[in-house]
Amino acid sequence: MLSRTASNLFWLGRHMERAETASRLFEVGARITLLPNTAEGYQNEWQSLLRATGVSDRFAARYDEVSEENMEKFMIFDRDNPSSVASCMHDARESGRIVRTALTSRVWDALNVSWQEMRGMEPGQEDAADLADFVARHAATVHGAIDGTQLRNDGFHFMKLGYALERADSTARVLDVKYFVLLPRVEFVGSGLDSYQWQVILRALSAHRAFHWAYGDDVSAGRVAHFLILNDESPRSLMTSVLEALSHLDALVRRYGQDVPHSARDRAQALADRLGSTDIEDIFDEGLHEFLSDFIREIGDIANRVQADYFHGRG
Amino acid sequence: MYYNEMLDGTKVREAYAGLSDWVDQMPAEIRQMKQAEAEALFRRIGITFAVYGEGGDPDRLIPFDMMPRIFTQSEWRRLERGIKQRARALNAFLRDVYGRGEIVRAGRIPARLVYQNDAYEKAVVGFVPPRGVYSHIIGIDLVRTGRDEFFVLEDNCRTPSGVSYMLENREIMMRMFPELFRGNRIEPVDGYPDLLRRTLETVAPAKCQGRPRVVILTPGHFNSAYYEHSFLANLMGVELVEGADLFVEGEFVYMRTTEGPKRVDVIYRRLDDAFIDPLTFRRDSMLGVPGLMDVYRSGGVSICSAPGAGVADDKAIYTFVPEMVRFYLGEEPILKNVDTWTLWKDDDFKYVMDNLGDLVVKEVHGSGGYGMLVGPRSTKAEIEEFRQRIKANPSNYIAQPTLSLSTCPTFVNEGVAPRHVDLRPFCLCGERIELVPGGLTRVALKEGSLVVNSSQGGGVKDTWVLSE
Amino acid sequence: MRLKITHQTVYRYDAPVGFVVQSLRLTPSVFDGQKVIEWKVDIDGAEPGPGFRDGAGDWVQVWTMRGPVTEVPVRIEGVVETADLSGVLRGHREMIHPMVYLQSTDATAPDDALRALAEEPEADLSPLDLAHALSARVSEVIAYRPGVTHLNTTAAEALSLGEGVCQDHAHALIALARLRGLPARYVSGYLSADADGAEHEAAHAWAEIHVDGLGWVGFDAANRCCPDDRYVRTGSGLDARDAAPIRGVRASTGMRAEELDVTVAVEPVAP
């Protein structure tokens, strides 16, 4: 398969997943600001969210005031923000258009429709939860079309690999928001506020029901973290995402043979092994933020290796 | 008057015999419904003229007219002979002017028109591509003025576009009106992609081993014809590549794949000469492949069409194509040229100035129906304005008589009415010269209009050749 | 005369480059005025393509090199036996019609000053006399002075400066000849040092003008002469860029941050 085609398929997956992340993060922000608040006001939470996702400078350059209204524009609609929902959906659709012939018509239809509908929307019409639903629904349609209709060839694996790596990255970032939000207020750890914030995180990942099935209603930091990091039944956990990425990388190695470089697979295998031998106490001892930062770097490294192994074409 | 391809007075001509009942029996509501259906099909397939980044409606469709244009077998056979003859002559001309230039030495074509032509490419001089073919896909634009009278309007030897419409128009007609195709009366065109691939495979370089790997080189997804590029690649079963997907190493060209470099033997490029290799042509081109020309000239890869093939389809060279047929083939041209006055000649200039109101004047390098004057359809002021433009730069223009283009029945708001048409068949040149029975019929949808270009309100039709 | 040439060009990149492609026209032309005794082109670590003779008669070879590299050294060494043909390019095999060399390029585009200068020689001169007259005028109006012009200086700019190097003299002469309807082209090659050790450019360039009956004739306006046995001819083109002995880009596009280091020596040797 042409390297560029593979790269476009990979990024199609990443951008669709990233669009969903942006809307989830926005929803987290909106929910956290619904809390009875401290004197500092809600602006602080939005700031934390911007910092956690590494886009505060970009925001500051374009908007005067940190408000929900501006955050909605920035995170959902702003085409100058490459991580906004609109940008990601556009980019996913554009990748799809470039490799149109590698997609089934169902996948293309779903991509096309999601972008057309997104383009028809305007800021201020929907609340955060509805926006997140809207995006999740379209993302699910595209994903479903891929799973249901695409041939299981290398192109399929590149797409799914994009999804898996992006999901690993995004779950880590959403978790990290909690760290940034809580950082100035260690005294809240274990309080009702703390528990509420963890619940918000779970909701943002559409994982609150699953969590309650698995752990009952004791929403403690340790349990939520375990659920979102190490539990391989949790659909968005870091563990699940890494194992999924690994399975597609394995499939590529089987398909291409050992002569084609596979440093990304080896690295993903090492990461999966490491997660498998870690328990949640180790993570808290190391520091959740440090652990997550390290994990995000690892995922970045695997993505770079995918690029070097497959997208460069070695010329 | 205009030649009506369906009606001879009130009598229906042979070619359209089966169709006139079909038209008569179709109620207006059904017709509108079918038209909407056709449009939805086109949109669904994605065949639009999106020019990204240039504004306008990104999903503009070329209007499709459901009324087919029909040729009998005997009409087609004559056209086919004429087109193949012309294609042979054009390639012989290219081989000659990039070699010894016998036709110039013989005084049959002025040297200036060849060697000072912008499209003449000195980087190709002395090189004979596999099978001596320089232009592998030739689109020949034809108009009809009478029962047996066809004229060539222009030749397209570089990278003629529009073949995806020929294929899609047929596909959509077959989906919507399968009953019309029963009985096997209509020659199929869907073999074109295979034929194109086989043709390109026959011009692989001698160094190629095994089945040649063919690719289509596109300027990229921002190009307005990107749809056609990806459509053809898909039907041919070949990769659609951009310049950055290819690289030169040693004596060959390779494409970057997920499994490492793969050698490429034949490049069907849909990219202008100037952009294909920054080492030889435009240095600032990011679309091409550095070193491609060197590999081409040393026989490591074939480029279709050859750089510099455009010198054969220039509007000034056009007037000499009948001469090429005589000179290289020793035959009389089967297809006629339209009389053409070249404005850099004093006599021609004077004639044109005196008769501007009756003539069609075109820019030598213009295309798409822009920069032309249709005398009989222009106001006095427009004619005078154009006269000043010609005077400022006479050698930039040619003039032709206003032809009485034939008409075909076409669906319009009021029902069915005659509209002017032209035809672009696509001739493939490799080991053999081949032509699928059909082409792209363009129709001027505006009443009385003679301009069929899509940018000027033209539409397209399915083109049928009836089997015996 | 027998001339020994050693020429080294080094491309330096500020960051390692993954892949380098270069097209070289660096082999002496084949004609009655010169004969190659030995000639070697070498790029460390690069793979040569097969090479071919183009329509202008130049030997062209593409070289590719896998990186990462920060330097690409091109080394040429050879010995050529030359003869003085008073500038006439006799016995040179080429296929491009001279008329092709009437077209103008950015570097040779005429301006009013060039047009006026082109009109100075009388109209009834023979083509050969006209070519000599134009060459002499270029020598007068553009003084030899290194460092004032650069690679992209045009003929018009050099004329208005009144100073320049061999590239500028050649461009100006080409522009003038074309204005008078004479096909003209840019030639690159080497020039051996004079016995008196006068200042000169060893990696040299001059112009050729096509004269009916004689064919291509060389004119070196920078040195007020026609090429003789001190000259070695390697390639030609419409202008300096088109005739460049080395055309290169690096893969993985972007800026070309390359430096050119040239050491060149041309010296007479005993046969």
User: What's the pLDDT tens digit per position in B49-73?
Assistant: 433 333 344 456 788 899 999 999 9
Query: What is the mean pLDDT of the segment spanning B91-101?
Result: 97
- Using a CB-CB cut-off of 8 Å, the residues of chain B touching C253 are 244, 286
| Alpha-carbon gap, residue B263 to B204, rounded angstroms | 12
Contact B416, B23 (CB under 8 A): yes
Task: Give which of B293, B340, B391, A61 is closest to C60, Cα–Cα.
Answer: B293
Distance of CA B372 to the CA centre of its chain: 19
Question: Would you call C47 and B249 a contact, using CB atoms and an 8 Å cutoff?
Answer: yes
Distance of CA A138 to the CA centre of its chain: 15
CA atoms within 13 A on the CB side of C50: 17
Q: Facing residues of B434 across strands? A: B428
- Higher per-residue pLDDT: C194 or B28: B28
Greatest Cα pair distance, chain C, in angstroms, is 60
Range of the domain at C216: 83-237
> Are residues C233 and C170 part of one domain?
yes
The answer to whether B43 faces chain A, any CB pair under 8 Å, is no
> Are residues C38 and C136 part of one domain?
no
- Of the candidates A3, A105, A108, the beta carbon closest to that of B258 is on A3
**Which residues are CB-contacts of B74 (< 8 A; sequence separation ≥ 6)?**
none
User: Residue B206 class from Cβ within 10 Å (0-12 exposed, 13-18 middle, 19+ buried)?
Assistant: exposed
Tally of domains in chain C: 2
> What's the sign of the alpha-carbon dihedral A97, A100, A102, A105?
positive
| Alpha-carbon gap, residue B207 to A171, rounded angstroms | 53
- Of the candidates A6, A154, A313, the beta carbon closest to that of B261 is on A313
Q: Residue A263: in which H helix or E strand, if any?
A: helix A263-276
Q: Facing residues of B410 across strands? A: B417
Question: Would you call A313 and B260 a contact, using CB atoms and an 8 Å cutoff?
Answer: yes
| Alpha-carbon gap, residue C99 to B112, rounded angstroms | 7
Contact A277, A268 (CB under 8 A): no
- Predicted confidence (pLDDT) at residue B48 exceeds the cutoff of 80: no
The answer to whether B101 faces chain C, any CB pair under 8 Å, is yes
| Alpha-carbon gap, residue A237 to A172, rounded angstroms | 9
- Higher per-residue pLDDT: A180 or B162: B162
Structure tokens that stand for C237 in this block: 């083109």
| Alpha-carbon gap, residue B281 to A208, rounded angstroms | 61
Searching chain C, which residue's CA lies closest to the CA of residue B251? Answer: C49
To probe the interface with A, which of B257, B262, B264, B267 has the most A CB atoms within 10 Å? B257
Determine the pLDDT at residue B109: 95
Determine the pLDDT at residue B190: 93
| Alpha-carbon gap, residue B459 to C80, rounded angstroms | 66
| Alpha-carbon gap, residue A85 to A73, rounded angstroms | 10
Query: What is the mean pLDDT of the segment spanning B317-323?
Result: 95
- Predicted confidence (pLDDT) at residue A283 exceeds the cutoff of 60: yes
- Predicted confidence (pLDDT) at residue A43 exceeds the cutoff of 80: no
Task: Give which of A234, A251, A223, A266 is closest to A168, Cα–Cα.
Answer: A234
Searching chain B, which residue's CA lies closest to the CA of residue C252? Answer: B244
User: Residue B159 class from Cβ within 10 Å (0-12 exposed, 13-18 middle, 19+ buried)?
Assistant: buried
- Using a CB-CB cut-off of 8 Å, the residues of chain A touching B245 are 2-4, 313
Tell me phi and psi for residue C6, to 5 degrees.
Answer: -130, 130
- Predicted confidence (pLDDT) at residue C36 exceeds the cutoff of 80: yes
> Are residues C32 and C15 part of one domain?
yes
* pLDDT band per the 50, 70, 90 thresholds, residue C251: very low
Determine the pLDDT at residue B50: 39
Query: What is the mean pLDDT of the segment spanning C205-234?
Result: 95
> Are residues C204 and C95 part of one domain?
yes
- Using a CB-CB cut-off of 8 Å, the residues of chain C touching B120 are 100
Per the prediction, chain C carries an average pLDDT of: 90
Q: Which residues of C touch B (CB under 8 A)?
A: 19, 21, 23, 47-56, 60-62, 64, 66, 95-97, 99-100, 102-103, 241, 247-249, 251, 253
Determine the pLDDT at residue A36: 60
Percent of chain B with pLDDT over 70: 94
Task: Indicate the residue type of B458.
Answer: G
> Are residues C159 and C100 part of one domain?
yes
DSSP line for A108-151: HHHHHHHHHHHHT--TTSS-HHHHHHHHHHHHHHHHHHHHHHS-
Min Cα separation A274/chain B (Å) = 28
- Using a CB-CB cut-off of 8 Å, the residues of chain B touching A314 are 256, 260-261
Percent of chain C with pLDDT over 90: 70
DSSP line for chain C: -EEEEEEEEEEEEEEEEEEEEEEE--S---BTTEEEEEEEEEETT-EE---EE-TTS-EEEEEEEEEEEEEEEEEEEEEEEE---TTB-TT----S-GGGGG---GGG---HHHHHHHTSS-TTS-HHHHHHHHHHHHHHHSEE-TTSS-TT--HHHHHHHTEE-HHHHHHHHHHHHHHTT--EEEEEEEEPPPTT-----SEEEEEEEEETTTEEEEEBGGGTB---TTEEEEEEESSTTTT-SEEEEESS-S---EEEEEEEEEEE---
Query: What is the mean pLDDT of the segment spanning A220-232?
Result: 88
User: Which DSSP state fits A311?
Assistant: I
Task: Give which of B467, B442, B427 is closest to B81, Cα–Cα.
Answer: B427
Question: Would you call A315 and B261 a contact, using CB atoms and an 8 Å cutoff?
Answer: yes
- Of the candidates C21, C96, C99, the beta carbon closest to that of B291 is on C21
Determine the pLDDT at residue A134: 92
Instruction: Count CB-CB contacts under 10 A for residue A126.
Output: 15
Task: Give which of B391, B396, B403 is closest to B451, Cα–Cα.
Answer: B403
Question: Would you call B258 and A108 a contact, using CB atoms and an 8 Å cutoff?
Answer: no
Min Cα separation A141/chain B (Å) = 18
* Model ipTM value: 0.92
pTM of the shown model = 0.89
- Using a CB-CB cut-off of 8 Å, the residues of chain A touching B261 are 313-315
Question: Would you call B241 and A2 a contact, using CB atoms and an 8 Å cutoff?
Answer: yes
To probe the interface with A, which of B43, B51, B256, B258 has the most A CB atoms within 10 Å? B258
Q: Residue B240: in which H helix or E strand, if any?
A: strand B239-241
Question: Would you call B286 and C99 a contact, using CB atoms and an 8 Å cutoff?
Answer: no
Per the prediction, chain A carries an average pLDDT of: 87
Enter the CATH code of domain B339-401. 3.30.1490.270
> Are residues C155 and C167 part of one domain?
yes
Instruction: Count CB-CB contacts under 10 A for residue B454.
Output: 18
- Predicted confidence (pLDDT) at residue C77 exceeds the cutoff of 80: yes
DSSP line for B242-281: -GGGEEEETTEEEEEETTEEEEE-EEEE-S-GGGS-TTTS
Tell me phi and psi for residue C219, to 5 degrees.
Answer: -135, 125
Determine the pLDDT at residue A39: 46
Instruction: Count CB-CB contacts under 10 A for residue A92.
Output: 26
Structure tokens that stand for C128 in this block: 């050969």
Task: Indicate the residue type of C23.
Answer: S
Residues 396-415 of B with CB under 8 A from A: none
- Predicted confidence (pLDDT) at residue A288 exceeds the cutoff of 80: yes
Contact C33, C89 (CB under 8 A): yes
| Alpha-carbon gap, residue B212 to B200, rounded angstroms | 9
| Alpha-carbon gap, residue C87 to C210, rounded angstroms | 11
What are the Cα distances from residue A83, in Å, to A87, B215, B274, B300?
6, 35, 37, 44
Residues 392-451 of B with CB under 8 A from C: none
- Higher per-residue pLDDT: A202 or B82: B82
| Alpha-carbon gap, residue B111 to B120, rounded angstroms | 12
Determine the pLDDT at residue B51: 33
- Predicted confidence (pLDDT) at residue A41 exceeds the cutoff of 60: no
Q: Facing residues of C190 across strands? A: C203, C232
| CATH number, domain with residue C222 | 3.10.620.30
Query: What is the mean pLDDT of the segment spanning B90-116?
Result: 96
Domain ranges across chain B: 7-333+404-465, 339-401
Pairing of strands B433-435, C203-211: unpaired
> Are residues C197 and C134 part of one domain?
yes
| CATH number, domain with residue C263 | 2.60.40.2250
Structure tokens that stand for B18 in this block: 């089966």
Question: Would you call B249 and C249 a contact, using CB atoms and an 8 Å cutoff?
Answer: no
Determine the pLDDT at residue B57: 47
Contact B342, B244 (CB under 8 A): no
User: Which DSSP state fits B64?
Assistant: E
Q: Facing residues of B217 across strands? A: B241, B269
Domain ranges across chain A: 1-150, 153-315
- Higher per-residue pLDDT: B49 or B84: B84
| Alpha-carbon gap, residue B136 to B302, rounded angstroms | 11
Question: Would you call B242 and A312 a contact, using CB atoms and an 8 Å cutoff?
Answer: no
> Are residues C158 and C205 part of one domain?
yes
- Using a CB-CB cut-off of 8 Å, the residues of chain B touching C249 are 278-279, 283, 290
**Which residues are CB-contacts of A59 (< 8 A; sequence separation ≥ 6)?**
A50, A66, A70, A74, A81
The answer to whether B53 faces chain A, any CB pair under 8 Å, is no
User: What's the pLDDT tens digit per position in C91-105?
Assistant: 999 999 999 999 999
User: What's the pLDDT tens digit per position in A159-212?
Assistant: 999 999 999 999 998 888 776 665 545 555 556 667 777 777 787 777 778 888
Contact B157, B138 (CB under 8 A): yes
Least confident window among A222-236, B372-386, C188-202:
C188-202
User: What's the pLDDT tens digit per position in A79-98?
Assistant: 999 999 999 999 999 999 88
Which spans in B98-188 are helix H?
102-105, 111-115, 163-176, 178-181
Question: Would you call B250 and C95 a contact, using CB atoms and an 8 Å cutoff?
Answer: no
User: Residue A129 class from Cβ within 10 Å (0-12 exposed, 13-18 middle, 19+ buried)?
Assistant: middle
